[in-house]
């Protein structure tokens, strides 16, 4: 095998390695694009879930006084006045 044939074989091998690297790079790029899309979709659902939880908490904070009043947990306003009047002598 002459030096020219050896250089030709090494050149062809280098082209094959470059072609293989190019194919691997394209496959990696397409995988990363699909992975980024999956992450974006997942992050979008996480944001939706956070918003839903936030709205549920706000709804409960709005509805809690009505629920507590319906359960008679808070005394009626006239009872509050009576309780305040009973506690008045104890303060002094």
Spans of all domains in the chain: 3-91
Look at residue 38 in the predicted model and tell me its pLDDT. 82
Give the per-residue pLDDT at 79: 53
Give pLDDT, residue 61. 80
**89: Cβ–Cβ under 8 A, 6 or more apart, which residues?**
none
Output the pTM of the full model: 0.44
d(CA 32, CA 84): 68
3-state helix, strand, coil in the chain (%, to 5): 90, 0, 10
How far, in Å, CA of 68 to CA of 73, rounded? 5
């Amino acid at each position: 095998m002459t030096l020219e044939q050896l250089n030709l074989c090494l050149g062809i091998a280098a082209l094959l390695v470059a072609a293989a690297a190019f194919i691997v790079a394209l496959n990696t790029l397409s995988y990363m694009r699909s992975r980024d899309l999956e992450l974006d979709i997942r992050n979008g659902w996480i944001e939706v879930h956070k918003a839903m939880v936030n709205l549920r908490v706000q709804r409960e904070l709005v509805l809690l006084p009505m629920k507590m009043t319906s359960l008679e947990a808070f005394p009626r306003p006239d009872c509050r006045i009576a309780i305040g009047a009973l506690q008045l002598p104890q303060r002094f």
